[in-house]
């Protein structure tokens, strides 16, 4: 057990890509946590493949470093508002936060989101101005922006008196002076131990431990991670588990772990204020309290923000179902979705009238996109519908989620972007032109208006625009026909292999989404039409071989480069009558009704029904 006045529990919070994970790397390296001969990869905290590929943190992770005789527990949190469920839980485990802000970009939507969560928990903040070595860094203006944000979010006097550390996580340097960097992270360590309070919980009271994070290990089963709220916890101890529903179960702690660097080390006991991991409790869940059996008292259940977006996950029933995936049945799909609920508290899964379809609700497109990507990598085949925002009735008024959108655009694209957002019912709340040729615009916009907007936005700004958004609040419903796709699609007429000849014959009808030689089926979407109506085309057509030589025989024909969608782009592109088919090897777009005449009949029925309303 550590002396409580030598423990510091902190979370690192920031907007995505402002350098949290790199900062943790340098704190770990310079604290002597690694052996001299130990090879450590960059962004050591980003442990899963998707995090490393995308350069984002998805799951909160904790580590511990020793500085002098202090023991500092650090939790790295996600920057995306989509993973807000992770951020909110972490705030229960710590006494202070390092708010990392880019010295050039300043405060972004997610900076506001994560800081609000920290201030609500009354945590002590330290502001770290990172990337101070950027040539266009503007530290004094950014500190003013951060102060304004604290005031706007209602910080108290102690929180407003935050220390500022200027750092370059990449170089591993920090200082209290923006113009001169020390050669190491010593300044930041000192600021942490001097400003973040030590835990004040009482180890002599009966045990209370809130399960905040979950892990799983094939040998140990479920591993519960959290902070000891009071009392002492020991290996082999009998405990009471208090579920979210209020039931009390008896259990025994088989193994207890502390943290040292990125490793878990087995320990005999730990006391109030320590962050530990424990195993042996079979069906433990996030938000449950582990308590003393003689005096079981539950801690308040974690309050998590509600999901704002939902999609229907359907068993793959396309003509190519089962060709590429390992798991294709509704039983396996259901098992996998309900397993995800154990570790992701922001997710909701609802069963429907059909055993093959499930409504999955999450915090945003990225949140659901990461789940789908993980599932396809595990060997699942499934189909998903267009993302839809969750509309609520509040005091008899229809309300929908409103996002705070922050965009940086070149001055010459500003007019087109403002016009496009105006059509999507966006309301401009701020505009900053700092004379660099780029303008920063801030909007409040219904979340529906952002579905499918990012690709269009990049086209409008010729790739130079940067767009960030985070959930702001629920506002009055802004009316129908908001956002979405305006173009029709090109649909395959038959099942077969797409030929270069067949694709060349329809190239002038729109933009294709694939190369020749790809297998297609009837009803599959193979491109975007130049008009706003759908068009059925035959891309499997082969050139007829005759003994008559064509005049253009020797001409080299060049096809236009097709537009290949990533998973997120495909989800954004969908319309109400379409599915995205996801398999371990392919992402295909298709119509829900594959047959052309059946589609037309269904559309007529829909129009008749609408006209009768």
Q: What is the DSSP code string of 281-342? A: -TT--TT-EEE-TTS--PPPPPP-PPP-EEEEEEE--STTTTSS-SB-SHHHHHHHHHHHHH
Q: How far is CA 33 from CA 3, 38, 137, 263, 276, in A?
A: 20, 10, 31, 10, 18
The whole-angstrom separation of Cα 419 and Cα 440 is 15
**Block residue for tokens 């600021």:** 191
Provide the pairing of β-strand 124-130 with 164-168.
parallel
Annotated ligand binding at 217? The verdict is no
Question: Buried b vs exposed e over 340-365: b needs ≥16 C-beta within 10 Å?
Answer: beebbbbbebeeeeeebbbbbbbbbb
The whole-angstrom separation of Cα 239 and Cα 8 is 26
Annotated ligand binding at 283? The verdict is no
Annotated ligand binding at 131? The verdict is yes
Tokens of 61: 């992770």
Beta-bridged to residue 172, according to DSSP, are none
Tell me the residue length of the chain: 613
Q: What is the DSSP code string of 165-226? A: EEEETTTTEEESBTTB--SSSHHHHHHHHHHSPPP---TTSPPEEEEEEEEEETTTEEEEEE
Calculate helix-pair angle for 109-120, 139-152, nearest 10 degrees. Answer: 50
Annotated ligand binding at 19? The verdict is yes
Contact 488, 533 (CB under 8 A): yes
Would you state the torsion angle of the CA atoms of residues 230, 236, 242, 247, taken in this order, to the nearest 10 degrees?
A: -150
Phi/psi at 165 (5° precision):
-110, 130
Annotated ligand binding at 445? The verdict is no
Radius of gyration of the chain (CA): 27
Annotated ligand binding at 515? The verdict is no
The whole-angstrom separation of Cα 362 and Cα 598 is 33
CA contacts within 13 A on the Cβ side of 283: 7
Annotated ligand binding at 21? The verdict is yes
Eight-class DSSP state of 362: E
Would you state the torsion angle of the CA atoms of residues 278, 284, 286, 288, taken in this order, to the nearest 10 degrees?
A: -100
The whole-angstrom separation of Cα 551 and Cα 274 is 82
Residues annotated in the binding site for GTP, as ranges?
Answer: 17-22, 130-133
Residues annotated in the binding site, as ranges?
Answer: 17-22, 130-133
């Amino acid at each position: 057990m550590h002396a409580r006045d030598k423990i510091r529990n902190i979370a690192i919070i920031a907007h995505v890509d402002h350098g949290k994970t790199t900062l943790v790397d340098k704190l770990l390296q310079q604290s002597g946590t690694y052996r001299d001969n130990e090879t450590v990869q960059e962004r050591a905290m980003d442990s899963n493949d998707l995090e490393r590929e995308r350069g984002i943190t998805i799951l909160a992770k904790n580590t511990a470093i020793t500085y002098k005789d202090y023991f500092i527990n650090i939790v790295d949190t996600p920057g995306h508002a989509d993973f807000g469920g992770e951020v909110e839980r972490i705030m229960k485990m710590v006494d202070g936060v390092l708010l990392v802000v880019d010295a050039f970009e300043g405060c972004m939507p997610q900076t506001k989101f994560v800081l609000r969560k920290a201030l609500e928990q009354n945590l002590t903040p330290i502001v770290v101005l990172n990337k101070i070595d950027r040539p266009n860094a503007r530290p004094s203006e950014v500190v003013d922006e951060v102060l304004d944000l604290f005031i706007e979010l209602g910080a108290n006097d102690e929180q407003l008196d935050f220390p500022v550390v200027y750092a370059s996580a990449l170089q591993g340097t920090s200082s209290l002076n923006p113009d001169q960097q020390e050669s190491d992270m010593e300044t930041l360590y000192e600021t942490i131990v001097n400003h973040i309070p030590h835990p004040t919980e009482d180890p002599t009271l009966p045990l209370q431990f809130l399960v905040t994070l979950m892990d799983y290990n094939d040998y140990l089963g479920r591993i519960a991670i959290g902070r000891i709220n009071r009392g002492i916890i020991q290996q082999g101890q009998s405990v009471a588990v208090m579920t979210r529903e209020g039931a009390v179960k008896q259990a025994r702690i088989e193994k207890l772990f502390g943290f040292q660097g990125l490793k878990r080390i087995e320990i005999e006991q730990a006391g109030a204020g320590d962050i530990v991991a424990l195993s042996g409790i079979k069906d433990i869940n996030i938000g449950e309290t582990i308590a003393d059996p003689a005096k079981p008292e539950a801690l308040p259940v974690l309050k998590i923000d509600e999901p704002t977006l939902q999609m229907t996950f359907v068993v793959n029933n396309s003509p190519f179902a089962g060709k590429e995936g390992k798991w294709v049945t509704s039983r396996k799909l259901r098992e996998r979705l309900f397993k995800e609920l154990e570790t992701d508290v922001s997710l909701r899964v609802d069963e429907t009238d059909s055993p093959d379809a499930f409504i999955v609700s999450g915090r945003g497109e990225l949140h659901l996109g990461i789940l789908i990507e993980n599932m396809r990598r595990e060997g699942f085949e499934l189909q998903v519908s267009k993302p839809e925002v969750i509309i609520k009735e509040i005091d008899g008024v229809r309300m929908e989620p409103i996002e705070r959108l922050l965009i940086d655009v070149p001055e010459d694209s500003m007019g087109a972007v403002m016009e496009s957002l105006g059509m999507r019912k966006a309301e401009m709340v701020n505009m900053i032109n700092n004379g660099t040729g780029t303008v920063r615009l801030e909007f409040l916009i219904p979340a529906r208006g952002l579905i499918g907007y990012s690709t269009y936005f990049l086209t409008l700004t010729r790739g130079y625009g940067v767009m960030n958004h985070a959930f702001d609040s629920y506002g009055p419903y802004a009316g129908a026909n908001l956002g979405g796709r305006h173009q029709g699609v090109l649909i395959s007429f038959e099942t077969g292999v797409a030929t270069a000849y067949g694709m060349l014959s329809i190239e002038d009808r729109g933009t294709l989404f694939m190369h020749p030689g790809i297998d297609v089926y009837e009803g599959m979407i193979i491109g975007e039409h130049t008009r706003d109506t759908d068009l059925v085309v035959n891309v499997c057509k082969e050139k007829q071989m005759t003994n008559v030589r064509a005049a253009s025989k020797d001409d080299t024909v060049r096809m236009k480069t097709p537009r290949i969608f990533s998973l997120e782009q495909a989800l954004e592109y969908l319309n109400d009558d379409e599915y995205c088919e996801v398999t371990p090897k392919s992402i295909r777009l298709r119509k829900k009704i594959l047959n052309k005449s059946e589609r037309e009949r269904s559309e007529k029925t829909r129009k008749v029904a609408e006209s009768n309303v």
